[in-house]
Amino acid sequence: MDARGILGACVETVIPTRELEPKSGKLAWECLPKGWFRKIMARDLDKAAYALRCLVETVNSMVKRKMGDVVYGKTLASMAREIKFACIAHNTRLLIDSGLVRI
């Protein structure tokens, strides 16, 4: 089951659909997305929001590299708390490394 099936209408997809090249003997319009969800995704794609994905992925990579990629919490609340503290520690380290804050 996909996220829309589990969470319903509160899920917003920010994934571009694949643009297919026309194969021999086919016209370009025949390669458009055919499924219902794909048509919705192609119509509702916010290109400005998707352009920020590389920044989000960079921050995720930095946090995993510096703080580790394992979460030790057993419950969802403790996992969320651990991730929040890792982000606070990451941001504090960036401030110290940039020279804006001195210890």
Query: Looking at the domain assignment, is residue 59 inside a domain?
Result: yes
Query: What is this structure's pTM?
Result: 0.52
Residue type, 103: I
The CA angle 11-13-17, to the nearest 5 degrees, is: 155
For 21, the token pair is 């090249």
Query: Looking at the domain assignment, is residue 103 inside a domain?
Result: no
Q: 10 and 23: one domain?
A: yes
**The last residue of a domain, from among 51, 70, 90:** 51
Confidence of residue 41 (pLDDT cuts 50, 70, 90): confident
pLDDT tens digits for range 57-101 = 898 898 888 888 888 999 988 988 998 998 899 899 889 999 888
Q: Could you tell me which of 61, 39, 34 has the C-alpha nearest to residue 13? A: 39
The CA angle 15-44-38, to the nearest 5 degrees, is: 60
Q: Under a CB-based contact definition with an 8 Å cutoff, are residues 14 and 50 in contact?
A: yes
Query: Looking at the domain assignment, is residue 19 inside a domain?
Result: yes
Range of 36's domain? 3-51
Q: 31 and 14: one domain?
A: yes
